[in-house]
Structure 1
Amino acid sequence: MTSHSDVSARIAKELDRLDADIVHVGLFDFATMFRERRLRREDLLSGADHAVFANVLPKWDAAESILAPGPYGSETIAYDPDSIRPYPFEPRAVALVADYTGPQAEIMPRRVLARQVERARAAGLDVLAAYEFEFILLNETADSLRAKGFADLSHFAADNRCWSGQTAATYASFVADLESLLRAADIDLFALGVELGPGCLEATLRHKAAMRAADDAAFFRMFTKAFCRQRGLTASFMPLLGAGFPGIGGHVCLSLRNRQSGRNLFADAHQRYGLSEAAQSFLAGIIDMVPEAFPMCAHTVNAYRRFAPGSWAPKTVSWAPYNYAAAVRTAAETEEATRLELRLPGSDVNVYLALALMLGAGLEGLERGLALADEPIGSGGPNEIPADAPRLPSDLREATQRFRASDKVRRLFGVAFVDHFAMLCEAEDAALRRAVSAAEVQRYLEAG
């Protein structure tokens, strides 16, 4: 067990390496928002052995409405020295992630992922992961959004077409500046460019160890939003903003490595589609678990708008090699690059829970030696719905009912987490049940 003095020493060493005097230290809540305090180096280190943070974070929803009963107060936290990274908006500053160590520890998303990573580690496996985000840029500020009632949103790069070289050239300096800021925060990008249509960009993050990859993804969204706001823009990671906007995803890639040999456990050129038997069992575990644990990769009402007919979002729990309409896309270009890609989450995904779901379900399949019985789906069209593939929940309410009732999910992720997260999802669904859109009014007001 790591002592407080060891943690402080490791943090001090990292602060020396990065020449940092300021620490933005905080926790990621269920909306993956970083809730922080800004401390000076000496104050952080002197209080490391008795650090606390308000325990309200898991008790409120996306609108900061309190949902869970008290008591409310301060709860002990522990700093994660491995999470330290440069903070790109202030000189000589870093960001540092903490986790609750008291009663909230069992239910917080980052700790849910940590338990699955430890499970893999106990089996002699290292987990590599990476995220890919589509996001929409708007010519809107915080003030203009509110003045317009969040309606009639104005596109940034309204002339963009998918993968347009013209748009890439036009906005090259903006994209290059964003990449420079992200790299300054130790977020390594494999690619960053334009994608699906007006205002749409896509960022592919390079693979890292699982927890670092999830932290990279969480900070990527936060830092991208801040970068854009500083330039009079808004970056949106909502899965669907409405008419005239594409549905956008937040995909998760994963592979397992044997710790002793370093070899990719998923790769076997002699097996079908280049996937080892271990990879096939892992994939079978995901297919088996996802329908019952779906809120872990789609926890907002808006996430389900993305699955509307005509979109490229998967409509069933399916798999296929190099098929963009599959729930899990398999890729095996080389032994090193062989991986599974979960394409179900929207871009607003809780990055810790989606990876915990993928890893936990896959490990379950691996441990049980599940066979991948189903054949992959075929054409890859946006409306491909194999008749025999398990269907996804139609909305957050249905997904949460399945989630709460699942014995498999409770056993794998813990009763306390499942009950608490289900409560949050039920409240999120209820909050918008009475909301009426302008499109509904237009459709029904004068009908009949």
Structure 2
Amino acid sequence: MNKTELLYKIKNSSSKKVKIAFPDIDGILRGKYIHKDKFSKAIDQGLGFCDVIFGWDCNDKCYDNIEITGWHTGYPDAQALIDINTFREIPWENDTPFFLGDFSRDEKYTQATCSRSLLKRVAAESEAMGFIPFFSQEFEWFNFMGTPSEIYQDDFRNLKPITPGMFGYSLLRTSLNHAFFNDLFEMLLKFDVPLEGMHTETGPGVVEATVIYDEILHAADKAILFKTAVKEIAYRHNFVATFMAKWNKNLPGSGGHIHQSLWDKSREKNLFFEVDNSNRMSKLMKQYIAGLLKCLPEILPMFAPNPNSYKRLSGGDWAPRTLTWGIDNRTASIRAIPGNETSTRIEMRVPGADTNAYLAMAASLAAGLYGIKNELELTTPASQGNAYLESKEHLLPNSLEIATKKMADSKIANELFGEAFVDHFTLTREWECRQVDPNDENWELKRYFEII
């Protein structure tokens, strides 16, 4: 649908409003409803959107350590761009028109704060090198009975999952809440976030779903929208969904694994597949993995952005803690999946469900391209057996504080993403470390449970 056709459709829509949204640094969508006449003007002219979305944290508390915006700037409007290619209708809101946007017209925010713009830059670099990246994110998340108000009023003391027990791949549990599961699958499809599959995972009230793969920007859009859509659909069943990395120390965490491959410009040839090479993995795929291994410790906050993220990365319970790769090995951080001409890919298992998909995908792609550009050899042996038990020399940073300092001092991070982004992002992660409240055992739930 071109711009003329789209504007005609919006003008003649029964809806008087359009919903627009922009991701903040945590991957939380911040947006508003606007009159469709204002939308029509904004398509060409852009529109102002308060830059406070880059000046506060996930709980709307203003940063005191960043330069790009704050009380010292007066929180002015940033020039926002609505991307008409993201058009979809919200089936649980009477098909209200919806669009995503970013700040790629405003250089100040493009370089430092706008995660969607960062992904667009990395994707453009990949295409300039002759590679079309196809990505997908799969999510695990827990679902609870009640409303946000009820859960908050009870101080998160008596959380009730929608199903009991540890029952992965359960047909019974999906039947128990069949209306919810049906709405997830059907409404996400109508919302143009189609699922490849969905099932229960091991744990009370936990579900896993994989979004069908797409070119990287569309894949990240769908991943961001998936989380918001799941939460909104859950509300309509009197449930609350959480994408926290580790909401309960006694249960497995929630992953946000990223599947990825590079294709040629015709989009017909998977460049990771080579039938005559070892394990049918091309030299390009091995260089990509080598790049991930080289860069991962220095850009880890983009995959594990919150203090809570590191409780998941403890080794065991399906979450890696080692700088490892393996052939179809789910205990390694990087799982190589050699298959056929279409299915050969890499699964990055470090990210949790709490990630900003734009940042996590940008980090994966940039690191992989780093390996290709520098022709890195995959000298690290593939992990055999339990990679959780690899030697201490291969451990990833075990806290956001340590990981953030490493990224802030990293020449590689600056090379991959630019100093403006690295400076701003690491300052926001330093702030996040300062929000830890050792005197409140439920501070993580209060901070991340519903919002992240």
Letter of the structure 2 residue corresponding to residue 80 of structure 1: D
Once the 2 structures are TM-superposed, how far is the Cα of residue 122 of structure 1 from its aligned partner?
1.0
Aligned with 2:20 (options 1, 6, 25): 25
TM-score if structure 2 supplies the norm length?
0.91
The runs of 5 or more residues in structure 1 that have no matched partner are 1-5, 440-448
CA contact (8 A) 1:14 1:84 kept: no
1:174 is paired with a residue whose SS is: helix
- Residues 316-363 of structure 1: CA deviation (Å, up to 9, x unaligned): 111111111111111122110111111001111110101001000101
Q: CA deviation at 1:13?
A: 6.1
Q: Say yes or no: does 1:85 pair with 2:73.
A: no
- Please point out which of 319, 327, 336 is paired with 2:333: 327
The separation in 1 between residues aligned to 2:124 and 2:86, in whole angstroms, is: 16
Identity within the alignment, % = 26
Q: Would you identify which runs of 4 or more consecutive aligned residues in structure 1 move more than 3 Å? A: 6-11, 13-22, 433-436
Contiguous gaps of at least 5 residues in structure 2: 444-452
Paired amino acid for 1:158: P
Partner SS, residue 85 of structure 2: helix
Which of 212, 216, 219 is the aligned partner of 1:213? Answer: 219
- Name the stretch that deviates more: 33-42 or 121-130: 33-42
Aligned residues: CA RMSD = 2.1
User: For this pair of structures, how many residues does the alignment match?
Assistant: 432
Partner amino acid, structure 2, of 1:78 = L
TM (norm. structure 1) is: 0.91
Q: Could you tell me which residue of structure 1 aligns to residue 448 of structure 2?
A: none
Equivalent residue, structure 2, for 1:96: 99
Residues 52-109 of structure 1: per-residue CA shift (max 9 Å, x gap): 1001111111111111334111121111122112222222422211112322121211
CA distance in 1, matches of 2:189, 2:13: 14
Secondary structure of 1:298's match?
coil
The aligned residue for residue 351 of structure 1 is 357
TM-superposed CA distance for 1:166, in Å, is 2.2
Residues 15 and 268 of structure 1: CA distance in aligned 2, closer, same or farther (over 3 Å): farther
State the 1:157 CA deviation. 0.7
Q: Once structures 1 and 2 are overlaid, which stretch shifts more, 385-394 or 111-120?
A: 385-394
Match of 2:295 among 289, 306, 309: 289
Q: 1:164 to 1:389 in 2, by over 3 A?
A: farther
What amino acid is the match of 2:82? Y
Residue 233 (1) aligns with residue 239 (2): yes
Task: Give the equivalent residue in structure 1 for 2:428.
Answer: 424
Aligned counterpart for 1:437 among listed residues 438, 441, 444: 441
Which residue number corresponds to residue 256 of structure 2? 250
Aligned-pair CA distance for 1:170:
2.6
Query: Partners in 2 of 1:9 and 1:123 — Cα distance?
Result: 33
Which segment drifts farther, 17-26 or 89-98? Answer: 17-26
Supply the AA of the counterpart residue of 1:152.
N
Who is 1:273 aligned against?
A: 279
Mapped to 2, the partners of 1:17 and 1:208 lie a distance apart of: 30
Q: What letter matches 1:371 in structure 2?
A: E
1:243 Cα deviation from its structure 2 partner: 3.9
Where does residue 445 of structure 1 map in the other structure?
Answer: none
Q: Please tell me the residue identity of whatever aligns with 1:405.
A: D
Instruction: Select which of 197, 204, 212 maps to 2:203.
Output: 197
Letter of the structure 1 residue corresponding to residue 109 of structure 2: Q
Alpha-carbon distance, 1:50 to partner:
4.1
Query: 1:187 matched to which residue of 2?
Result: 193
Structure number with the bigger relative contact order (C-alpha 8 A, sep ≥ 6) is: 2
Deviation of 1:437 after TM superposition, in Å, equals 2.2
Are residue 61 (structure 1) and residue 61 (structure 2) matched?
Answer: no
Structure 1 residues 16, 205: CA separation in 2 closer, same or farther (over 3 Å shift)? Answer: farther
| Partner amino acid, structure 2, of 1:105 | T
* 1:191–1:19 distance in 2 versus 1, CA, 3 Å: farther
Tell me what 2:37 maps to.
42
The amino acid that maps onto 1:422 is: T
The one-letter code matched in structure 1 to 2:22 is L
CA shift in 2, pair 1:11/1:125, >3 Å: farther
**Aligned counterpart for 2:343 among listed residues 337, 354, 364:** 337
The Cα of 1:152 is off from its aligned counterpart by: 2.8
What does the per-residue CA deviation read over 1:9-33, in whole Å, with 9 as the maximum and x for residues that have no partner? 4742674898865321121111211
